[in-house]
Each structure stands twice: as C-alpha cells, then as structure tokens.
C-alpha cells in the first residue's frame, strides 16, 4: 500500500485563485482594494523571506499590501504606536506582525494590541476564545489550512478519532479545537504523553506539529490513517544535500507505506498558510465594509 499524496500546493493555488476572484468582486463593490499590513521588526533572514512572499502573494491576489520594515532597535512603544495607527486606518483590513520579535519586545503585548477584527493571524486572545466557544472569529492560518486539506481528503470528519501531536498556541491547540468543532474525537498529545506510539496508533487522523524531524514513525500509525505533517525541519548538510534536506515531523517513506493519505514536506501544509492568510484578510475586508461575500467558496 502506498499513501495518496495530499497536494497542498495545488489546493493552495486553487484557494488563491478563488480569493483573487472574490477580491476583484470586493473592490468593485467597496470602491477600494482589501488591504493587508505586514510589520517586520529586525533583520531575521527567514522572517524577511516570509514577509516578501506574503507581500507578493497579496498583490497577486489583487489586494493592497502595506509593508512596514522597522529596525531591530525599535522599541516596544514605537511598535505599539504603529499598530494603533494601523488599527485606525480604514484602508487596512488585516494586520500581521511577523514573529519572532527581537528581544525586549513582549510578543503577547503586541498581539493583544492588534484589533481582533484585523487579527488575520488569529492569535489575539479574543479570537482564541471565539474559536474555543464556537463563535465566528479569525483562526490561525496553518491549522485552518490543515482542516481544509483534511475535509478535502475525507469529507465529513464526524466521529473520526484524531490525534494532534503538539500543543502550541499557533498550531496544536487551535487545530484540536477545529477538529472538535468538526465533530471529531480529539486527543492532544505532546512530549510528556505516556506511550505516545500507542496513542497515535488509535488515530484515523494524525496531525504532527512538534518540530522534531521524523519523530513519528511508520509503525506508530494505524493502517489507513490520514497524516497531516506540519513540521518543516532542515537536517545537517550531507554530500547528497549540501544545504541540508528538508523533512517533516513524520518519517515520510515509512508513513507512506501505512497511511491512506499524507502531506509531503515541502509542498504539503506550507503553501496553505499564505493562501489562508489571504482568505482571512478578504473575509475581514468584507466584514469591515458590511458587505456579503457571494457564495462560501472561501
């Protein structure tokens, strides 16, 4: 048996295309483009790459991109002042502050300063609370993208047994909540879970988000499980891979021999994150303008 590959790249491309169509419809109705402001503090190379990619994708979707690049020496007060300005700007529908922030800036204080209805990352405590009680709000982009891939692969998730490995506020906890809201039976597992392989072996759905390369082995999986691998880890350089091979949190080749379907790394969950960010920004724009999006394609 060889698992079907869940092509996140293709699904994300379709979502971005649908966002583009809806963004054009929004601009025609509202008389302005939906707008996303991205704030980068400091010179972290990986963060700079992400911000560039987000800005490019925003423009490609027919939305306005507002980039704010601040020096690493920026104070917390200066950053909070910029967020207050963006909160008040009617051209800005979504605000994203690229993490991690430099030492000396309190990430939680910064996230809390973003207006919840512009928090397209879904990290604000108001949005986390809304997700927990099943109210409308913004959901973090990566877990929402994972849910979309699961529903595309499996359809109705009701009654499925799901195990989420990892309990971060960015992926693990919101992923578990989304699965619960979709009527799955959910276990959150982590580094202190007793007999983790036995817990994983019960699952129809496995979402791995631990940040440890190839931790989940093929013999941990129930035959026919669907595996979503959120991890992206760069291994040490070798002669075959001088830059170091990219792998997920799941031992892919082993898992592909047991699972019914699995996301690859790269090309699985990764492309979904920016696509869902664009989707969240457009949803925010429609809400701010008091307009109704046609259909529910997003």
Please give the pLDDT value at position 266. 93
Give the mean pLDDT of 276-283: 98
Catalytic residue of the set 33, 93, 98, 160: 98
- 187 token code pair: 């276990």
Q: 30-119 and 141-271 share one CATH topology?
A: yes
- The average pLDDT across 247-272 equals 97
Q: By CB neighbour count within 10 A (0-12 exposed, 13-18 middle, 19+ buried), where does 88 fall?
A: exposed
Mean pLDDT of 228-238: 91
Backbone angles phi, psi at 5, to 5 degrees: -90, 125
Grade residue 237 by pLDDT with cuts at 50, 70 and 90.
confident
101 and 107 Cβ atoms separated by less than 8 Å: yes
Cis check for the bond before 199: say yes or no (omega within 30 of 0): no
CB 145, CB 122: distance < 8 Å: no
Mean pLDDT (the chain, rounded): 95
Instruction: Specify the pLDDT at position 242.
Output: 82
Of 93, 119, 121, 229, the catalytic one is: 121
Encoded tokens for 270: 């990764």
Catalytic residue, from 54, 118, 160, 173: name it.
Answer: 54
Res. 249: pLDDT tops 80: yes
String of DSSP letters for 236-253: PP-SS-TT--EE-SB-HH
Peptide bond into 277 cis (omega under 30): no
Please give the DSSP secondary-structure letter assigned to residue 136. Answer: S
Rounded to an integer, the average pLDDT of 261-283 is 97
Q: Strands (DSSP E) along the chain, which ranges? A: 4-5, 35-41, 64-70, 94-97, 161-165, 185-189, 205-208, 226-229, 233-234, 246-247, 261-262
What's the pLDDT at 296? 63
Q: Per-residue pLDDT averaged across 280-285, rounded? A: 98
pLDDT at 1: 63
Q: pLDDT tens digits, residue range 49-68? A: 999 999 999 999 999 999 99
CATH 3.40.50.10860 fits 30-119, yes or no: yes
- CA–CA separation, 259 vs 216, rounded Å? 12
- Note if 98 is an active site residue: yes
Structure confidence at residue 32 (pLDDT): 98
pLDDT of residue 295: 66
Q: How many CB atoms lie within 10 A of CB 28?
A: 8
Structure tokens, 267: 């090309």
pLDDT at 145: 98
Work out the angle at residue 250's Cα, subtended by the Cα atoms of residues 149 and 253, and round it to the nearest 5 degrees. Answer: 95
279 within 8 A of 20, measured Cβ to Cβ: no
CATH H superfamily, domain 141-271:
NAD(P)-binding Rossmann-like Domain (3.40.50.720)
pLDDT of residue 23: 97
Q: Hey, where are the domains in the chain?
A: 30-119, 141-271
Element (H, E) at 119: none
Digit-coded pLDDT (tens) for 141-200: 999 999 999 999 999 999 999 999 999 999 999 999 999 999 999 999 998 999 999 999
Residue 36, by phi and psi: left (phi above 0), alpha (psi -120 to 50) or beta?
A: beta
SS3 208: strand
Q: How many CB atoms lie within 10 A of CB 96?
A: 23
pTM above 0.85, yes or no: yes
Q: What is the pLDDT of residues 185-218, one digit of tens each?
A: 999 999 899 999 999 999 999 999 999 999 999 9
Check: CB of residue 172 under 8 Å from CB of residue 157.
no
Pairing verdict, β 233-234 and 246-247: antiparallel
pLDDT for residue 297 is more than 80: no
- Whether 108 is catalytic: no
Q: Predicted confidence band at 77 (pLDDT cuts at 50, 70, 90)?
A: very high
54 is an active site residue:
yes
- Say how many C-beta atoms besides its own lie within 10 A of residue 78's C-beta: 13
């Amino acid at each position: 048996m060889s698992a079907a590959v869940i092509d996140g790249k293709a699904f994300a491309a379709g979502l971005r295309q649908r966002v583009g169509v809806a963004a054009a419809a929004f601009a025609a109705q509202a008389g302005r483009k939906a707008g996303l402001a991205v704030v980068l503090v400091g010179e972290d190379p990986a963060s700079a790459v992400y911000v560039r990619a987000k800005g490019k994708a925003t423009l490609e979707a027919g939305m306005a991109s507002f980039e704010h690049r601040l020096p690493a020496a920026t104070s917390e007060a200066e950053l909070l002042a910029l967020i207050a300005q963006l909160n008040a700007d009617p051209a800005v529908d979504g605000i994203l502050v690229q993490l991690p922030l430099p030492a000396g800036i309190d990430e939680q204080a910064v996230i809390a300063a973003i207006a919840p209805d512009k928090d397209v990352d879904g990290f604000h405590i108001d949005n986390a609370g809304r997700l927990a009680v099943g109210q409308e709000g913004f959901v973090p982009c990566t877990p929402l993208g994972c849910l979309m891939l699961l529903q595309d692969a499996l359809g109705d998730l009701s009654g499925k047994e799901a195990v989420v490995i990892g309990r971060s506020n960015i992926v693990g906890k919101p992923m578990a909540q989304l699965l619960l809201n979709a009527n799955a039976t959910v276990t959150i597992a982590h580094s202190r879970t007793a007999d983790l392989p036995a817990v994983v072996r019960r699952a129809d759905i496995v979402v791995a988000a631990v940040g440890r390369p190839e931790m989940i082995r093929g013999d941990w999986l129930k035959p026919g499980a669907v595996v979503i691998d959120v991890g992206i880890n760069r291994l040490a350089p070798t002669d075959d891979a001088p830059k170091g091979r990219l792998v997920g949190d799941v031992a892919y080749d082993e898992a592909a021999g047991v699972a019914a379907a699995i996301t690859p790394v790269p090309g699985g969950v990764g492309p979904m994150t920016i696509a869902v960010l664009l989707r969240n920004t457009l949803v925010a724009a429609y809400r701010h303008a008091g307009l109704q999006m046609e259909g529910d394609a997003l």
